[in-house]
Structure 1
Amino acid sequence: MLKEMRSPAFRIDGEERPPITFHEGLNVVLGMGNGKNSIGKSSAMQAIDFVFGGSTYVKGDGVKHVGHHTIFFTFEFDGQEYRFARNTGDPDIIQVCTDGYALTGETKGKSEFVEWLKGKYDLDYPGLSFRSTLSSFFRMHGKSNVSAQETPLYGVRGDSMQKSLDRLVKLFNRYKDIEASNANLREQDDKLTAYKAARKYQFVSDLVGGDKQYEANSAKIRSLQVELDNLTSEQVEVHSEEDIEKQQKKAELRGRKLKIETQIEAKQRRLNLLDMSLEYGLYPTQADLKSLQEFFPDVNIRKLYEVENYHQKLARILDDQFESEKQAVLLEIADLVGQRKDVSEQIKALGFVGNISKEFLDRHSELKGTIDALKAQNESYLTLRDLKEAKKLANDQLKNAIRQVLTDIEQTINAKMAEYNSTLYSEHHNPPKLTIKEYNSFTFETKGDDGTAAAYKGMIIYDLAILNTTGLPAIAHDSLLYGDLSFELVEGIMKLYMQNKKQVFISFDKQEAHTPETQRILEDHTVIRLSDGTGKLYGQSWDTETEDES
């Protein structure tokens, strides 16, 4: 918890104020009984927010009028104290201090410090942002979450309904209950995306269109299969289906062997040219030889090389390159020869099949190929349909999981708010009610009462309900939240504040107008008292003109 806060900028009667010491439960920044403003109540609240990692204080009146300054503060966790310093001129750096607030030279970045607080408060919940969550429940002048016209769930300016609910789910540590369904949906979506990409680049068969095309393909497959069966039956007495497949395989292998032999011949021609270049010092191309022999069929090419002595020097320069290329070509020829041998052995292993006409084999291959293609298209359609159904199922499961979590959260909050609301009145009054319609839609209202007082009362007991049903470590309420509330309501709220062991920070003024019980509670829990003149937070006034200024 926050244990202490002090600053050279906080002054009283011309001297630095003593450290502000905080404790469990209610901590009151108490203003004047007559409601005098501009004495530093909101600045003190913003300073508390500042030591929790907030930034509103940097833009406030204190920095504007006093200038940049350092705030020193202490947190205590499990009996151990941790001291820090944060300067408004460099708010992204938090200095680590000794017991006497001397700087150690060790620092933490703002994000690192906030994460440190998150860990110390045991709020390492999946996906939870400690700072934005805490800021949502620190309601004070300068922030956007204090308007009676806005629902209290909007903790940060610009939040959507979905983002507000998402933060609530994480704060209740229920995100883990959704994450399994969310991960399943991501996985199904990834599978569908990958399959569509495979189709796009034709790694799998392109999709045929819809159920009708699927049925048309199925009918075509049945028709072609009948034709294939009839064609095969004409040969069945002489040749089995296995013989036909062997013959087709042999034809395929012979084609492969012919292609390999063509490649070997091309490599041999290349090798001859390289040998000639190495022997005679010139690198003739096939085009050169072909042109010479076309115009001079009887030309003696070897003699021509011998005559062209000026090419000898070039040949010597290229010898190393020719030799390297020759070795590479020899390796390629050896590999091709090995492939040819392997194919020949496969042909030999198939044995003698008999005389099956080429026309039969071609038609058989055509029918079988068409059938296989149609089956592949239909399989692609069925796979895509299954992937879409799996994604839809995963999405439905996620929505159901979210709906269940949100229902639980809604019931928990409403039950706690109803409990608190019943303590505020001597007779029945409708409590505020949170209604979550969808994962991105909600309402927050008090049935039969849409006034400002009901809005602020709802905001306060909503924060208290969250404080006491989640791991939220603290809330902060500025004095402006109480202005429209009846004395009876304020007294009841002060009693609710007192019930907490978690820290509640409030600012308050006009206390003399409230009930004796309210005044007693405020006095008992005051951590800093502010007054006019030199009793202001900064020990000076800037809301009145001096004689020189006038």
Structure 2
Amino acid sequence: MLVEIYCDKFKTGGKDGKIRPAIKFHKGLNAVMGDSNRSNSIGKSTLLMIIDFVFGGEDYIQKCKAVHDKIGEHNICFTLEFEGKEYSFLRNTKNYKELVICDRQYKKIEGKKPISIDEYNKFLAKNYGLSNEELTWRGAMSKYIRVYGRDTMDSSRPLQASKDGKQSDEIKNYLKQFGVYNTVKEQIDIAKEADDKKSSFKKTSDYKYLIMAKNKTEYKNNEKKISELEIKKKELAEKNNDGLLDLNEMQAEQISDLRMHLNKYKRQKARLQAQLNTMRQEKIDGKKSFKKSYEDLEKFFPGEKFEEIEKIENFHKSLSKVLDAEFKENEKNLVATCKLLDNEIGKIQDEIAEIKIIPNVSQAVLKEYTNLSLELQNLYTANNNFTIFENLKENAKKCEDARDKVISNKLTDIQNKINNAMMTITNRIVKGKHLIPPHLLLETINKYTFETKGDGGSGTAYRGLITFDLANMSLLHIPFLVHDADLMDPIEKNTLTELVKEYDSVKNDEKQVFVSFRSYEFYAKEIKPLLESCLVIHLEANGKELFGWAWNKEENKKID
């Protein structure tokens, strides 16, 4: 529990006045009281913000800018007690992300290193008995610290710790506080995994990575077509002397492919052989020439010289030698290529023989058989994938239903417990007026409502918020509450009287409530003795503010 808070900036009698002694706290109600004039800006809400700061919050830094502008950097020193042992800390408003471990006089203990705010929050969770791997200390307690300026004052969102928070996260944290979230999460994870499998399978189909019938109509059409193709396939086999019936689809496809290559190689060899034959014939024809003698010509052309013709003939002889060498090289290449083709043709024929091809099956029949087999395989695959997808959908739906049932049961159980507790507390604080209690409806894991049906007044709304916190404190291990006077302003006196009693009754469970009140005069006389006994500090205007002065007034300026 919180034992005390001390700050050398807490003063009386002005900004340079006397330092206040440490503010002492106790079990049950800890009352922060204002003056008879219900003065504002005297530090009631600020002290509650500091209590939030003591319990690991940061709103005192982020939302009390005027305090830090006027007071400057300062230390908040405090002591906590757990199982009879005291722990003292100092938290600076500038270096607020760490805490100094101190002795009882708030002097740093030598050899003790400062601890981070995360370490400190874990320390609080452990010692307050709120250690939960799924839930942080602030996640558990922040919503129960309701101070003007914080995001926890919304009477329709009692689970809200931040205005930017989602209802789904608020409900999850609430389930964690009741210790049932792991069971719910297990079902959520199972349902998510099932849905992910379904979605992934569907997405794969949408991107054409697998064949799948689109719907039941297409599935039935595929079945009809499969039946027709199976008959056609059987008939095709029977027409081919029953030989093809012994070949499986893979054999048929292999044979078809081999024959295609065989024919291609045979055509290539035929073309090359024709080219080779032509070249050889041209070579033979080129060797036929007339006898190189000019005697006959001299008979008809006596006295003529034939030296030039002889030169040309000699040129032709030299050219023939060159062409003959080129021919031999080309012939050599063509013969080698033909031999390679012969080898490939021989290999393919051997492969066909090994597969035991049926001699009377033509390539056309084989191709048709292969196409039929491929089409059938695609149809079978499409329908099989459709069946798989339907099973995934069915499983995802079952997991979704199981998840929703578990969630519904847990939410209903929690809301019934809270609503029953709020009804009991309402009956105590309204004293026989038979007023409708507030009602929490956990609709789904993502949505909830909180209201008092038939009454939308502010007094009823804030009464409902206070009642909700007290109900949770009675059911859960909530070690303290922090409530600002703004919550009680609209509530009628008689109800406030009973609320004060409810606040103080938590001491029976070793718990604390920190509440600011406007003034004694605002409450019934009968409750004043209890408030006085619970008082931890009385704040007033004119030098008795929390920091000894109020900075919301204009300073007097001298006129020359």
Q: Tell me, yes or no, whether TM beats 0.5.
A: yes
How many angstroms does 1:524 deviate by?
Answer: 1.7
- 1:116–1:229 distance in 2 versus 1, CA, 3 Å: farther
Distance 1:471 1:236 in 2: 87
8 A contact 1:34–1:512 mirrored in 2:
no
How many angstroms does 1:510 deviate by?
Answer: 1.6
Tell me the amino acid that sits aligned with residue 533 of structure 1.
N
1:525: which partner in 2?
534
8 A contact 2:33–2:535 mirrored in 1:
yes
1:405 aligns with 2:410: yes
How many angstroms does 1:250 deviate by?
Answer: 6.0
Distance 1:246 1:483 in 2: 87
Rg: which structure is higher? 2
SS at structure 2 position matched to 1:499: helix
Distance 1:95 1:383 in 2: 62
How many angstroms does 1:437 deviate by?
Answer: 3.5
Distance 1:385 1:439 in 2: 27
8 A contact 1:132–1:156 mirrored in 2:
no
How many angstroms does 1:46 deviate by?
Answer: 0.6
Distance 1:244 1:30 in 2: 95
Q: Is 443-452 or 476-485 further displaced after alignment?
A: 443-452
CA RMSD in angstroms, aligned pairs only: 3.5
How many angstroms does 1:27 deviate by?
Answer: 1.6
8 A contact 2:52–2:60 mirrored in 1:
yes
After superposition, where does 1:208-227 map in structure 2 within 5 Å? 208-227=213-232
- 1:245–1:438 distance in 2 versus 1, CA, 3 Å: closer
Equivalent residue for 1:496, pick from 493, 502, 509:
502
- 1:196–1:80 distance in 2 versus 1, CA, 3 Å: farther
Identity of aligned residues (%): 30
Equivalent residue for 1:107, pick from 114, 123, 131:
114
How many angstroms does 1:424 deviate by?
Answer: 1.4
Distance 2:504 2:250 in 1: 91
8 A contact 1:244–1:361 mirrored in 2:
no
2:544: which partner in 1?
535
How many angstroms does 1:184 deviate by?
Answer: 0.8
Tell me the amino acid that sits aligned with residue 170 of structure 1.
K
- 1:387–1:139 distance in 2 versus 1, CA, 3 Å: same
Tell me the amino acid that sits aligned with residue 492 of structure 2.
S
8 A contact 1:152–1:459 mirrored in 2:
yes
- 1:517–1:344 distance in 2 versus 1, CA, 3 Å: farther
1:88 aligns with 2:97: no
Distance 1:73 1:152 in 2: 28
How many angstroms does 1:505 deviate by?
Answer: 0.8
SS at structure 1 position matched to 2:389: helix
- 1:152–1:244 distance in 2 versus 1, CA, 3 Å: closer
How far does the alpha carbon of each residue in 1:146-201 deviate from its partner, in whole angstroms, 9 at most, with x for none? Answer: 355x4434442234444443332233222122111111122113212432454456
2:385: which partner in 1?
380
Q: Is 213-222 or 189-198 further displaced after alignment?
A: 189-198
Tell me the amino acid that sits aligned with residue 12 of structure 2.
I
Distance 1:254 1:449 in 2: 88
SS at structure 1 position matched to 2:95: coil
- 1:144–1:549 distance in 2 versus 1, CA, 3 Å: farther
8 A contact 2:482–2:515 mirrored in 1:
yes
8 A contact 1:246–1:350 mirrored in 2:
no
Distance 1:345 1:357 in 2: 18
1:6: which partner in 2?
6
After superposition, where does 1:471-486 map in structure 2 within 5 Å? 471-486=477-492
- 1:141–1:64 distance in 2 versus 1, CA, 3 Å: farther
After superposition, where does 1:263-302 map in structure 2 within 5 Å? 297=326
How many angstroms does 1:126 deviate by?
Answer: 5.5
2:252: which partner in 1?
248
- 1:364–1:430 distance in 2 versus 1, CA, 3 Å: same
Distance 1:540 1:162 in 2: 44
How far does the alpha carbon of each residue in 1:5-40 deviate from its partner, in whole angstroms, 9 at most, with x for none? Answer: 211111235333222232332222222244233221
Distance 2:84 2:208 in 1: 66
Task: Tell me the TM-score normalised to structure 2 length.
Answer: 0.75
8 A contact 1:208–1:377 mirrored in 2:
yes
Equivalent residue for 1:417, pick from 415, 418, 422:
422
1:123 aligns with 2:130: yes
- 1:110–1:366 distance in 2 versus 1, CA, 3 Å: same
After superposition, where does 1:116-155 map in structure 2 within 5 Å? 116-125=123-132, 127-147=134-154, 150-155=156-161
Equivalent residue for 1:167, pick from 153, 157, 173:
173
8 A contact 2:4–2:80 mirrored in 1:
yes
How far does the alpha carbon of each residue in 1:90-126 deviate from its partner, in whole angstroms, 9 at most, with x for none? Answer: 3223333344423356233334433443343333446
Equivalent residue for 2:374, pick from 366, 369, 378:
369
Equivalent residue for 1:49, pick from 49, 52, 56:
52
For structure 1, list consecutive stretches of 5 or more residues without a partner in the other structure: 262-292, 301-342
How many angstroms does 1:372 deviate by?
Answer: 0.5
8 A contact 1:139–1:145 mirrored in 2:
yes
- 1:254–1:487 distance in 2 versus 1, CA, 3 Å: same
1:454 aligns with 2:457: no
1:30: which partner in 2?
33
How many angstroms does 1:475 deviate by?
Answer: 1.1
- 1:255–1:37 distance in 2 versus 1, CA, 3 Å: farther
How far does the alpha carbon of each residue in 1:48-105 deviate from its partner, in whole angstroms, 9 at most, with x for none? Answer: 0111122221232432321121111223334433332221123223333344423356
SS at structure 2 position matched to 1:83: strand
1:317: which partner in 2?
none
For structure 2, list consecutive stretches of 5 or more residues without a partner in the other structure: 266-321, 330-347
1:389: which partner in 2?
394
After superposition, where does 1:169-248 map in structure 2 within 5 Å? 169-199=175-205, 202-205=208-211, 207-235=212-240, 239=243, 241-244=245-248, 247-248=251-252
SS at structure 1 position matched to 2:56: coil
Distance 1:352 1:147 in 2: 85
- 1:29–1:222 distance in 2 versus 1, CA, 3 Å: same
SS at structure 2 position matched to 1:472: coil
How many angstroms does 1:363 deviate by?
Answer: 2.5
- 1:21–1:256 distance in 2 versus 1, CA, 3 Å: farther
Q: Is 521-530 or 219-228 further displaced after alignment?
A: 521-530
How many angstroms does 1:507 deviate by?
Answer: 1.1
Tell me the amino acid that sits aligned with residue 24 of structure 2.
T
Tell me the amino acid that sits aligned with residue 402 of structure 1.
I
1:66 aligns with 2:64: no
- 1:549–1:539 distance in 2 versus 1, CA, 3 Å: farther
1:334: which partner in 2?
none
Distance 2:381 2:89 in 1: 68
Q: Is 26-35 or 435-444 further displaced after alignment?
A: 435-444
